[in-house]
Chain A
Amino acid sequence: MGIAENACFHCGEPISAGTALYVQRDGQQRAVCCAGCQAVAELIFRSGLGRYYQFRQELGRKAEAGLAHAIAAWEGCDARESLWGAELADGRRELLLQTEGIRCAACAWLIRSHLEKLPGVQSTQVDTATGYTRIIWQPKETRLSRLAAGLMELGYKPHLPLAGAEEQGRQEERRESMKRVGVAGLGMMQVMMYAVGLYAGDAFGIAVAERSFLAWVSLAVTLPVLLYSGRVFFEGAWRSLRARRPGMDVPVALAIALAFLASCYHFFRGDGEVWFDSVVMFIFFLSLGRHMEMMLRHRNLQAGAALARLLPEWAERIRGERRETVPAGDLESGDRVVVRAGESFPADGHICAGATEVDEALLTGESRAVARVAGDLVIAGTINLSQPVEVEVTACGQDTAVSSMGRLLLRAQATRPATHSLPAWLVPAFIVSVLLIAAATWLGWQYVDPSRAFSAMLAVLVVSCPCALSLALPVVHAAASRRLLDEGILLTRGDALHALNEVDTVVFDKTGTLTLGEPVLTGHPSADALAHAAMLARASRHPFSRAIARAAGSGPVASTIIEHPGEGVSGVVDGREARLGSAAYVGAAGQGGSELWFAFAGDAPVAFHFEDALRPEAKETIARLRKMGLSVELLSGDSSERVAIAAAAAGIDAWRAAATPVSKAQRLSELEKAGRKVLMVGDGLNDAAALAGAHASLAPGGAVDVSRLASDCVYSGDSLKSVALIIEVARAARRRMRENFAFAALYNLIAVPVAVVGWATPMVAAAAMSLSSAIVTLNALRLSIMKLEDGAS
């Protein structure tokens, strides 16, 4: 991982001037940005884990200050057995900790190596995809807080194991499902092998004893597969029948049961015509499908977990004179809590002492400071920017505004219009018709030539074994996902491709998606003024101040700095009193808009202008989407003049400003009602509900977790070009799917009648079936060598 010059060796953030912190490594000095990162890097080297820096693919997480404080909070929970994890034999516990900051395999290695050296820790596993750390430990030998401290020392942030039990259950479910697929797969290989013998016997002759022996073994292998892997389908069918709502499982269970029972009947009657091979293969492919579906479902459940994570887990409660750090879940309404600058509010409440500025980007998507004074309402999850305040809690946990937003998201996901991918209804319909045709064939041949009835029926079943048809779309899907992955785009929902190529309208969020998402300094009076203003700006967290600090680079900070919430900062610059802030605060005649004023006491104030700059490739991407026949719309929570400017610059005619999360979702359902298929592209939490409710959705990899998980696909990197690219691939995939589907249908239309009239022996039928499967697969692979139009064209 390349690190820019003047960036922290551990976390890659810029190092402000005047910081002289280093870590020693191989006789070289590496600069780090803060004492926290220094401690982490030193610990890593001291423990002999320096290889982490070679293998990591992502930069480390910036260490947070106040480690001792965080450890003390965990120590308060040491005695709570409910947090220790599931009990194993001889008192050991299996603890699942959701851990923030795990970014790549090197992190997993680092955590494993570090934790496993602690006394009382038996084994550690890290799942990089979900961010869970699984620790098997002995509570007699160590404490919970020691494990948490082990993670925190490395700069990761463990969360209280409150939802651990659910994830544990899900993991068990995943393993069970995988076992079913494995059993069915192995069984399928065996039975297929015997089937080859049986087919060869049909073609070249086989002794009766050997034939029945092969059939016997097939039955012996099929039965456990049917009972173990196939059980879920029978259970599902039974449940849905009992609920009087026959679902997908009913025809499936019927097909399996009929094929198996008929095989057994023929086998025991002695004419030996069996198709156990079809039974196991069918079970295998269906189990595999179920497994994929479950993986996607589990991923979606994590969206809820990510949302819960937006709320801080710890709160500093005031009880009389005492201040104590308690889990935020323990708060009750009426409690008073202290929230420091830079922390987020643990619960909804009113400010009862102090005044500050709050970043409510969580709710509005626009990162700007809003002044809040005593008596004002603050929302859990929003960030306190400038001054410590005391808050009286009015709502916590499930009752907070953020939690209700989570429910909005879940509802949107639940009511998402079902995008029927073809195989979902087609395969059972196809199977049932095949079974009917097979039965009809058998009946028909009874009148013509009863001795050939079985052979003809078997040929029908084999030739139409739903391979080509059931492969036709999944192989294209697999090839397209693979191709998109090569281009840095990850599909997170199974039906995303299907939804994507139906899209005729693209709706963009503005801030962070179409624009860079942070204000950029566009105009300043002079280099001198910039240098002076920067000395004040470096001390403030205000987005505009940060933009000035970025533009000025590193440098000194003013002394005796005071932040005035909602107004600005004052301090002593070069020995003179100076102010940086709003026009009113500095004493200037402001023109409104995105500006900040700076003045020395007594001097005339000067203005700094900001703009949330458009991404460089935005205009080109929009033009390209237009050329592809899509209409484009802009939906933003920002003020109308700013949205108008951005829309004009990007070349978008249709735009709406001042949209809330709810009105965004509403606008999308309006568009859906008008018959449009919408692709939503957004990154903020305020887009999450819209993303989940849209026909298809796309989020950049840098988006907040919730939005990433709510969307159908995630593109890595920051390039908007991915939006056009993904639609191009989806459309190509649709063409391949149509070709494959047409081919498979044609094949069945020709092959089934041929088998019905008895022209195909089972052997020929098997060969034809394999060939047809190979053809659809090869056609799908064309996607991986497809040339994509370059963004320039």
Chain B
Amino acid sequence: MTVLVWMMAAALLLAGVALGAFIWSLRTGQYDDPAGSAARILDDQPPLP
């Protein structure tokens, strides 16, 4: 039973972290331009100063 409680706690914590990360990425507009983001990886030079 104790094992189960710990495991659940860990699962919920991880889910909470995932949710936080998702909301952060949403707020910072990372889903606003899927096409542009997908192509950006092709640009292999460092960002401009």
Contact at B36–A55, with CB atoms within 8 Å? no
Nearest Cβ on chain B to A549's Cβ, whole angstroms: 36
Q: Which of A48, A105, A178, A209 has a CB less than 8 Å from the CB of B1?
A: A209
Contact at A55–B42, with CB atoms within 8 Å? yes
Nearest Cβ on chain A to B47's Cβ, whole angstroms: 8
Nearest Cβ on chain A to B19's Cβ, whole angstroms: 5
Not counting A105-B40, A182-B26, a sample of 7 additional A-B residue pairs whose C-beta atoms are within 8 angstroms of each other reads A51-B43, A55-B39, A128-B36, A179-B23, A189-B15, A214-B4, A217-B12
Which residues from chain B contact A125 at a C-beta distance below 8 Å?
29, 32-33
| Smallest CB gap from A104: residue in B | B39
Q: Which of A106, A182, A213 has a CB less than 8 Å from the CB of B19?
A: A182
User: Which 9 A-B residue pairings sit nearest by Cβ, starting from the closest?
Assistant: A105-B39, A108-B36, A127-B33, A105-B36, A182-B22, A128-B35, A128-B36, A190-B15, A217-B8
Contact at A213–B1, with CB atoms within 8 Å? yes
Contact at B43–A178, with CB atoms within 8 Å? no
Size of interface on A: residues with Cβ below 8 Å to B: 34
Nearest Cβ on chain B to A100's Cβ, whole angstroms: 17
Which residues from chain B contact A210 at a C-beta distance below 8 Å?
1, 4
Which residues from chain A contact B4 at a C-beta distance below 8 Å?
210, 213-214
Report the Cα distance A48→B39, complex, angstroms. Answer: 19
Nearest Cβ on chain B to A143's Cβ, whole angstroms: 24
Report the Cα distance A125→B30, complex, angstroms. Answer: 10
A127 and B32 in contact, given A105-B40, A210-B1 (Cβ under 8 angstroms): yes
A178 and B31 in contact, given A104-B39, A213-B5 (Cβ under 8 angstroms): yes
Report the Cα distance A411→B10, complex, angstroms. Answer: 54
Chain A positions 169 through 208: 1 when the CB is less than 8 Å from some CB of chain B, otherwise 0: 0010001001100110010011001000000000000010
Contact at B12–A190, with CB atoms within 8 Å? yes
Contact at B43–A108, with CB atoms within 8 Å? no
| Smallest CB gap from A189: residue in B | B15
Contact at B43–A55, with CB atoms within 8 Å? yes
Report the Cα distance A210→B36, complex, angstroms. Answer: 48
Report the Cα distance A451→B32, complex, angstroms. Answer: 53
Identify 12 residue pairs between A and B in the complex whose beta-carbon atoms are under 8 Å apart, listed by A's number.
Answer: A105-B38, A109-B43, A117-B48, A125-B29, A125-B32, A134-B29, A178-B26, A182-B19, A182-B23, A186-B15, A213-B4, A221-B15
User: Is A126 an interface position by the 8 A CB rule?
Assistant: yes
Nearest Cβ on chain B to A661's Cβ, whole angstroms: 32
User: Is A527 an interface position by the 8 A CB rule?
Assistant: no
Which residues from chain B contact A89 at a C-beta distance below 8 Å?
none
Interface residues on B, range: 20 to 34
Which residues from chain A contact B35 at a C-beta distance below 8 Å?
105, 128-129
| Smallest CB gap from A185: residue in B | B22
| Smallest CB gap from B35: residue in A | A128
Nearest Cβ on chain A to B31's Cβ, whole angstroms: 6
Nearest Cβ on chain A to B25's Cβ, whole angstroms: 9
Which residues from chain A contact B40 at a C-beta distance below 8 Å?
105, 109
Chain A positions 100 through 124: 1 when the CB is less than 8 Å from some CB of chain B, otherwise 0: 0000111011000100010000000
Nearest Cβ on chain A to B39's Cβ, whole angstroms: 3
Which residues from chain A contact B48 at a C-beta distance below 8 Å?
48-49, 113, 117
Which residues from chain A contact B11 at a C-beta distance below 8 Å?
190, 193
Which residues from chain B contact A128 at a C-beta distance below 8 Å?
33, 35-36
Those of A687-708 within 8 Å (CB) of chain B: none
Contact at B23–A127, with CB atoms within 8 Å? no
Which residues from chain B contact A217 at a C-beta distance below 8 Å?
8, 12
Which residues from chain A contact B33 at a C-beta distance below 8 Å?
108, 125-129
Which residues from chain B contact A183 at a C-beta distance below 8 Å?
19
Which residues from chain B contact A171 at a C-beta distance below 8 Å?
32
Report the Cα distance A129→B37, complex, angstroms. Answer: 11
Which residues from chain B contact A221 at a C-beta distance below 8 Å?
12, 15
Those of A521-560 within 8 Å (CB) of chain B: none
Nearest Cβ on chain A to B41's Cβ, whole angstroms: 10
Report the Cα distance A137→B45, complex, angstroms. Answer: 26
Chain A positions 130 through 147: 1 when the CB is less than 8 Å from some CB of chain B, otherwise 0: 000010000000000000
Which residues from chain A contact B12 at a C-beta distance below 8 Å?
190, 217, 221
| Smallest CB gap from A112: residue in B | B36
Which residues from chain B contact A179 at a C-beta distance below 8 Å?
22-23, 26
Nearest Cβ on chain B to A277's Cβ, whole angstroms: 15
Report the Cα distance A599→B3, complex, angstroms. Answer: 99
